Structure 1
Amino acid sequence: MFLESVQNVFKMKLKLILISFFISCMVFSQTSGVVINLEGDPIENVSVYIADQDIITYTNYLGQFSFSNTIPENSFFEFKKYGYSTKLHKHTGGKINITLQKLHVELDEVGIVEQSNKLGDSKVLSIETKSLKNNFITSSSLVESINKLPGINTIGSGLGIQKIVIRGLSGLRVVSYLNGMKVNNQQWANDHGIGFTDLGLSEVELIKGASSLMYGGEAVGGLVFFKDSPFIESKIPSGYIATKFDNSHFMFGNQFGFKWSINNFFINLYGQYDLAADYRMPNNTYLFNSRFRNKGLKFSIAKRTDNTQSIFRYQNNVDEVGVPAHAHGDLSEIDINDLSSSELILPDDYEATRPTQFISNHLFTLENTIFNNQSKYTFFLGHFINHLQEYEKWTVPGFDIKTNNSIARFNLKKFKDNFTFNVGSSFEYLDNKNSEATDTLTPDANSKDIGFYSILDFINNGVGFNLGVRFDHKNVESNDVNFENSYSSFSSSAGFFIEKNNHISRLTYSSSFRSPHFSELFSYGLHHGTMRFEIGNLDLKNEKSHQFDFKHQWSSQHFAFVVNPFFQYINNFISINPTNDFYNNTYRIYNYEQFKDVILYGFEANIHYHPHVLHNLHFEQSYSFLNARNLDQDVYLTLTPANKIKSSINLDLKQYSILKISNISLYHMFVFNQNNVSLYESPSDSYNLLNFELVFNPFKNMTIVSGIKNILNKEYVPHLSRIKEVGAGVPEPGRSFNISVKYDF
């Protein structure tokens, strides 16, 4: 036994010596390394990602990787490959030797893991991550994919209009960032979608609650941070082409991507075109005007030296989105048959009709970074243009609004032993202008927001903490209504974690504020997309939120679980509430009001199990339970999502050659009935959804995904559906099949 152990150690050292020899021969590389497994064998095709510089490369068949520049010390390298534990390495200079352990159970999306995040350290903050690498071919939409995470829901109708809900909060309380730029696309209304697609995205980071001080204190409900696919260190151009078909909307979609780098110059280029008709409901009729069309283009360029990097990004999305189930009068008296058709007439049913939203979004960002071994200076400039035209008539728009949002941000990141210190400031200017239209819901207005923050992180030997504070001052002005007011407040966060014997526990506290938005202050008019007359309130004050979040994780080779209870208290909660009055005897009038005390509490849990006898079989299940109450009136909060249980079975067949099938999955979601409703809100029934998916790899670099959604053809109306109150409720799509093809080169 002793001799055998000595031989194994000798073999492992010999492998390392041979691999190190090959690395030493690569004289062109200034930062290089090797990745091996516990037996000392090299691991091929491990992604090596430098988070600070947004650059990725992959190990070769000898487990080697290299970067053409010297990477500064204290940079974080993330090593990731499916089937192995993710490892985060803090660079201290010299060559890098990494050992990855085989992993049977993965909790990367919801667990407390070693992972690089733009929003902070996931061990001391409540950050969850989801890969979007192949989202175009594996999901019907970007929001649908994120919806699989516990505690996440969607408001919308079909695939054309969807937006994210985090623990029962949405709209202005959930702030979206795209590559560091805040997305302001009329997100205050439920008939406006997220504003972009999964084009070129690699990952989304999500904070449930208000723990993100670096990106503003107004994310009372949470913050969603979308990240582009990183630049690749390779002189050989790479990319992909992909196409898909989904017969629920008779939707065709196409994407392409291209990456290239030479002499520390990097470029990424992407394009997309989607076309969808009205979706088919379970009774085989089609919901009129649920059609949509999307065109997208984005590119990123970067230039890097040993100590500097500049990244410029541009993105344009042009959408034509039909507004389905649009009706006048008492919505409860509407006959759904009057809103549907018995057949599709193609190509006519791809064309825009009325009412329709015409949306154009432009995003520009410039990020300059200066590195040294102990510090990182980041200067960020961003500009986002949203132009929304909403037509109910054919000639003149009902709304014609252009929003310009500009952000300047500076951050200094300092490393000292086991401490990381961030200090920075930001300035944001938001301008809302109306053009000639039949209606004006919100007047011309602008806001200026300046903020300062400081964050301290400490991690050492399985123990860590986070402390942070932020101050914001916002000025809101509108000459149209002779209004000017300022809103100021502090936000803070504190977190502590401990790791011992495969157990990891984290407790966080966060406080944040949200100042009133233009729509909440100034609205006065008919909002056709929501079929109501809205009246703002000039006396609204800051919302103030306090949240406690506890997460505990335990994992072994074959079983893992996460439990995550939380409690949130919101003071001066801004809400839009129905009245008994009607505009033109047709549209119900809604007023913006504030409730002094609102609480939201619940818990989320995840389990992951795979049997020892069949390592390729994985069972996963998540639970989301939420209760939300308005203590002022002792009633439930409007639009509280129903509780859910989400389950999946995955059979990984990548190492086999069974009909070229690489993965088989079955997904089930049980949604409880929701009887905890407020005034003028109807309850919702429980329902089951069952989806099936097959993934093929018939040829090298080609992936085919085929699936069936809503296998049981269940007729269901989600509690958060924006057209739930129309008639008896307008159902979501019925049974449908989809097929996608992607070729990587």
Structure 2
Amino acid sequence: MNRIYLLLIFFIVFKVSAQEVSLKGRITSDGAPVSYGTIILSGTTLGSTTNDKGFYEIKNAPAGNYQLIITCIGYQTQKAPVIIKKGVATVQNIELKADANKLNEVVVTGVSKATLIRENPLAMEAVSTKQIDQSAENNTIDAIAKSAPGLQTVKTGPNVSKPFINGLGYNRVLTLYDGLRVETQQWGDEHGVPMDDYIIERAEVIKGPASLMYGSDAIAGVLSLFPAIPKDTDRLIHGRYLSEYQTNNGLIGNSLSLFYGNPHWAWAIRGSERIARSYTDPIDGRVYNTGFKMYNGSAFLGYHNAQGYSHLNFTIYDNRQGIPDGSRDSLTRKFTYQIYESEGENTLLPQVDNLKDRPIVPQNVLNSYNLSPLSQQIQDYRLYTDNFYHLGLGDIKASLGFEQNVRREYDHPTDPDQAGEYIVLNTIDYGLRYNAPSFLNIEPSIGINGMYQTNTNKDATDFPIPAYHLFDAGGYAYLKWKQDRWTIAGGLRYDHRSEDGDEMYIASDPSTGFFRQVPNGTAGAVQQFPAFSLDFQGVSGSIGTTYQINDELSFKTNIARGYRSPNITEIASNGLDPGAHIVYRGNLGFKPEFSLQEDAGLSGTYPNFSFNVTAFNNYIQNFIYEDQEVDKNGNPVVIIPGNRTLQYQSTNAQLYGADATLNIHPEGWKAFHFDNAFSLVYGYNLNPKYKDAEVNGEYLPFIPPPRWLSSISYAVNTNGKTLPSITIKAENDLNLAQNRYLGLYQTETPTAAYDLVNLSVNGDIHYGKGHSIQCLLAVDNLLNTAYQNHLSRLQYFEYYTASPNGHLGIYNMGRNVVFKVIIPF
């Protein structure tokens, strides 16, 4: 620990004094101010955001020659040379041209320095503050997925959305929060990304292997989330208040953020709450036990000078949400609830649960905000520091963070305070990168990153995974060469991971009948997990190029080798995960996954339209997936009634597909926008025994169907001072049928096509001097269409093979009216 303290002190206090100067100016378009534009000083991490009058200021800018890069959704990216002199304040005003294309946005994920999307060989998407704020989705992950073709979500109700990229998810998608790995038992189905939905300022998505920069778990790509941090340095307290209400499940959300900044120091404190009752759909009515209560808090402290910055952050997340199981009365199809323990529990109670005899849930319970005792609680705590400083002509970036994820799942109706699963995961995440001085148009970087992790089972009765210790380390070298219209970037990486699992024995507690952890040798004890010690290692890398054919058209291609070591549930699981309603079975003999993905893309930006087309092909060795465990007669194995038993398998696999966008924005009709996004992915199990078997084993699970999302928006100019314009948007979300599914042993079922219509109206209400309120009124699923998304786990929560109304499983949310207001101050 002394070493950790020394590192923290070094990262935070290390700085080099320099002459303080500032760069300021105003960003406009046709004479009108451009609000919330991003300004970056190239070659540094210094930047700013324009206020509602278009003004910006960058304090403590080092003297030198730079390019100023200005980006804002709806405008063409502008570059301007700027010379900053010692001790002299520089004024630089910029005029932007309207442009609906977002391919010129600046990104920082997966690269050594801030880079334009069109110059980055990786297939990427950027999602702005505006896109997130104007979304009417159930959570921020869904909002990001709607704006990033190729990103989908596996859902367990409105509060749980796990990111999938091009058909791959769980530990194959690395989620970053402010550059820090999110480590929260990602293998689990029934909980999402622990974060405050109301403070995410922007997001970046890498679609394809990103192991070079991040190591294991980025084999499918990266979802990078950036919380808002203070940008003003005027010594005033600024803030933002957000409130929303959604009619379908009565969601009530509120958030308050306070920011302060001066030329050197900045701080922020933020808090939010979101509560909801069970949602409704046109087939099932109100879906029992899909409500939730979520509370978030965070704090930020930052120091800046001319040579860099040090940031210290703390976040706390507390989410209590229901665990739906889909049990119903066989005739009325009304939801029922459990009152006795499951047959699989070795209890002393005289009665055990019978799915057919459960009582029907009363209507007042369905409509209540009170959660069922059968629920889960997830608490997540982060403390981390992020540091960046110039060292001569190079720079260094260092990060160190601690995260604790506490997960309790309550599944005992006779003892609601007894957790069925109680797991505490502690992770120390570290990273160090040095960007060396450029030479011959080459920007070299070297770095190391990894984590140390421990997992502990606490006072519980179900034990799906063992306690373990994990150490992960990797080093990489990255080069970027840029000249004229060409950019070539790539590098190599080596990773090593050691994982040691603890032996565990369990036995029935004589006083309760529930299973408990006991020492070896205890009467009646059985071994739940053997001790193990495993090592995984791999080499990964990528090489890619972009070529700007002309000022409007650019081409990019990339080939990457990804690496992923098996996660704990794949290698060592042996028990019930109550929230997932799945008994998992692992395999200690699994080898790491290695992928080889090729992708190519063409993008164009023209005065009246813009487009982007990307195609990919991904071959994966030792691909690990879930398969229904069956007996010798091919019948599903049922260890605990009402819960499926899944056995992890390994094979080679191939995924390929494409996504495309076409945005029409006539230069002579600036108020009109016609945007389109299409995504398609196929996944195949290459085991020879499944060749040409199609749904009987050839297709991979969790492959999303083809999707076409189209929207038309029109900005109505009212010529009023209070409400100068209103933007009306109509959206059509078409999801085709998914008939390429893993139907073997009924692991998956086909999903019918559906088409959703959404409407929204948004505008800014101006008041006082330079103040405004952002307002959104939206209707999702306007026609109240009954549908089941192929990536919704709730469609498989069914206990009968036939239904009197012809519908099986739980359907997705019906019509939902959303009201949202955002008040910056």
Unaligned runs of 5+ in 2: 1-18, 338-359, 504-529, 631-636, 692-697, 799-807
Mean CA deviation greater in 727-736 or 467-476: 727-736
Checking the alignment, whether the CA contact within 8 Å between 1:217 and 1:470 is kept in structure 2 is no
Name the CA distance, whole Å, in 1 between partners of 2:368 and 2:46: 42
Match of 1:738?
818
Q: Residue 484 of structure 1 is aligned with which of 521, 533, 539?
A: 533
Provide the TM-score with structure 1 as the length reference.
0.90
Q: Aligned partner of 1:623: which letter? A: F
Aligned residue type for 1:129:
A
State percent identity of aligned pairs: 22
Within 5 Å, which residues of 2 pair with 1:282-431? 282-283=282-283, 285-327=285-327, 336-339=333-336, 345=364, 349-372=368-391, 374-393=393-412, 394-416=416-438, 418-431=441-454
The one-letter code matched in structure 2 to 1:723 is L
Q: What pairs up with 1:18-417 in 2 under 5 angstroms?
A: 30-34=21-25, 45=35, 46-49=37-40, 52-53=44-45, 55-58=47-50, 65-71=56-62, 77-87=68-78, 93-94=84-85, 95=90, 97=92, 99-106=94-101, 108=102, 111=103, 113-120=104-111, 121=115, 122=117, 123=119, 124-132=121-129, 135=132, 138-139=135-136, 140-148=138-146, 149-235=148-234, 236-283=236-283, 285-327=285-327, 336-339=333-336, 345=364, 349-372=368-391, 374-393=393-412, 394-416=416-438
Matching residue's letter, 2:126: T
Distance in 1 of aligned mates of 2:501 and 2:361: 48
Task: Give the Cα–Cα distance (whole angstroms) in 2 for the partners of residues 356 and 672 of structure 1.
Answer: 34
1:626 aligned partner: 681
- Equivalent position of 1:499 in the other structure: 548
Aligned to 2:776: 705
Distance 1:448 1:125, change over 3 A: same
Deviation at 1:613, TM superposition (A): 4.6
Whole-angstrom CA distance in 2 between matches of 1:73 and 1:192: 48
Partner of residue 662, structure 1 = 726
For residue 726 of structure 1, report the CA deviation from its aligned partner: 2.5
Q: Structure 1 residues 91-100 or 284-293, which shifts more?
A: 91-100
**Pairwise CA distance, 1:261:** 0.7
Decide whether aligned partners of structure 1 residues 526 and 743 sit closer, same or farther in structure 2, where only a CA change above 3 A counts.
Answer: same
For 1:505, the aligned partner's letter is: F
Question: 2:15 aligns to what?
Answer: none
Change (3 A) 1:136 1:68: closer
Amino acid at match of 1:145: A
Structure 1 stretch displaced more, 437-446 or 690-699: 690-699
Question: CA offsets per residue over residues 298-321 of structure 1, 9 Å max, x none?
Answer: 111101122242100111110001
Task: Report the number of matched residues.
Answer: 708
Q: CA, structure 1 residues 737+114, in 2 after alignment: closer, same or farther (shift >3 Å)? A: closer
Partner residue of 1:582 out of 615, 622, 638: 638
Separation (CA, whole Å) in 2 of partners of 1:207 and 1:707: 29
Greater shift in the superposed pair: 96-105 or 505-514: 96-105
Conserved in 2, the CA contact under 8 Å of 1:532 and 1:588? yes
Question: Cα 1:734–1:64, aligned 2, differ >3 Å: closer, same or farther?
Answer: closer
Aligned CA distance change for structure 1 residues 93 and 371 (closer, same or farther; 3 Å): same
Paired residues of 1:264 and 1:305 also in contact (CA < 8 A): yes
Give how far 1:283 is off: 4.2
CA contact (8 A) 1:689 1:714 kept: yes
1:74-96, Cα deviation, whole Å (9 max, x unpaired): 87754234442123568764447
| Residue-by-residue CA offset, 1:357-410 (whole Å, 9 max, x unaligned) | 111000111122221452111121011110000001113111000000101211
Distance of 1:621 and 1:339 partners within structure 2: 42
Is the contact between residue 229 and residue 300 of structure 2 (CA under 8 Å) also seen in structure 1? no
SS at match of 1:289: coil
Offset of residue 708 of structure 1: 0.8
Which residue of 1 is the match for residue 785 of structure 2? 714
Whether the 8 Å CA contact 1:284–1:342 is kept in 2: the answer is no
Shift, 1:292, TM fit: 0.3
Q: What are the ranges of 5 or more consecutive residues in structure 1 without an aligned counterpart? A: 1-27
In structure 2, how many angstroms separate the alpha carbons of the residues matched to 1:89 and 1:179? 28
Query: Which residue does the alignment assign to 1:561?
Result: 611
Paired letter, 2:150 = G
Amino acid in the other structure paired with 2:624: I
1:592 correspondence with 2:648: yes
Equivalent of 2:755 in 654, 673, 688: 688
**Which residue matches 1:538?**
588
Task: Tell me the residue number matched to 2:16.
Answer: none
- Please state how far the C-alpha of 1:37 moved relative to its aligned partner: 6.7
| Distance (Å, rounded) in 1 between the aligned partners of 2:469 and 2:462 | 19
* 1:326–1:729 CA distance, 2 compared to 1 (3 A): closer
> Are residues 491 and 76 of structure 1, via their aligned partners in 2, closer, same or farther at CA, if it must alter by over 3 Å?
farther
Which region of structure 1 is more displaced relative to structure 2, 682-691 or 117-126?
117-126
**Equivalent-residue separation in structure 1 for 2:420 and 2:363 (angstroms):** 28
Which TM-score applies when normalising by structure 2?
A: 0.81
Deviation at 1:136, TM superposition (A): 5.2
Deviation at 1:294, TM superposition (A): 0.5
User: Distance in 2 between the 1:88 and 1:469 partners?
Assistant: 31
The residue matched to 1:509 in structure 2 has which SS? Answer: strand
Q: For 1:92 and 1:537, how far apart are their aligned partners in 2?
A: 60
Deviation at 1:469, TM superposition (A): 0.8
SS of 2:142's partner is helix
Between 1:691-700 and 1:113-122, the stretch displaced more is 113-122
Contact conserved, 2:287 with 2:335, CA < 8 A, in 1? Answer: no
Counterpart residue identity of residue 360, structure 1? Q
Residue 68 of structure 1, CA deviation: 3.1
Evaluate the alpha carbon distance shift between residue 30 and residue 212 of structure 1 in structure 2; reply closer, same or farther with a 3 A threshold. Answer: farther
- Aligned residue for 2:762, secondary structure, equals strand
| Greater shift in the superposed pair: 127-136 or 510-519 | 127-136
Match of 1:15 in 2: none
Q: Deviations over 1:573-602 (max 9, x none)?
A: 01121022221465432111110x200001
Give me the whole-angstrom Cα distance separating, in 1, the residues matched to 2:376 and 2:63.
Answer: 48
Distance 1:227 1:712 in 2: 34
Which deviates more, 136-145 or 95-104? 95-104
Partner of 1:22: none
Secondary structure of the 2:143 match is helix
Matching of residue 617 in structure 1 with residue 672 in structure 2? yes
Which stretch of the first structure deviates more once superposed, 210-219 or 450-459?
A: 210-219
Conservation of the 8 A alpha-carbon contact between 1:253 and 1:272: yes
Query: Per-residue deviation at 1:611?
Result: 3.5
Contact between 2:29 and 2:96, CA under 8 Å: does it hold in 1? yes
